[in-house]
Amino acid sequence: MIETISHITIIVRDIEKTGHFLQTIFDAKEVYDSSQKNFSLSYEKFFVVGGVWMAVMEGSPISERSYNHIAFRIPDSEFDEYVSRIKKLGVEIRPGRDRVGGEARSIYFYDYDNHLFELHTGTLDDRLACYSNG
């Protein structure tokens, strides 16, 4: 039986730069650095973002951008604060998609290696209720 997501792994060119990105935007906590002894395929660091284990490994990142993304939930009251954090790093914020009236808000943005992230203010139950009424 599946319990939950174990972890998310992304491949990046510069682990230090990505670590700063994660810590600045997501308040990520660094919990592991393999620089002293590498156990995996390449140099890696582990972070915890909102209770989720996120592994960042050094390598050749994805070459093309797509809509595949990782989304984290944020309180709507902190939406503008997160926009400021993202803008502070100078990364690209992607225009949001058209929304159904009453649907939660999202911020879409790319990291330095073409990974798309989303910060979303709603829940699955919110979305389903909104869609059933639309």
Nearest one of 73, 55, 74, 29 to 115, comparing CA atoms: 55
The Cβ-side half-sphere exposure at 17, using a 13 Å CA radius, reads 11
Residue 39 in tokens:
């156990």
Report how far residue 126's alpha carbon sits from residue 73's, in angstroms, rounded to the nearest whole number: 12
Report how far residue 72's alpha carbon sits from residue 17's, in angstroms, rounded to the nearest whole number: 20
CA 14 vs. chain centroid, Å, equals 16
Question: Which of 3, 16, 30, 44 is labelled catalytic?
Answer: 44
44 catalytic residue (yes or no): yes
Would you please indicate which residues are annotated as catalytic (active-site) residues? 44
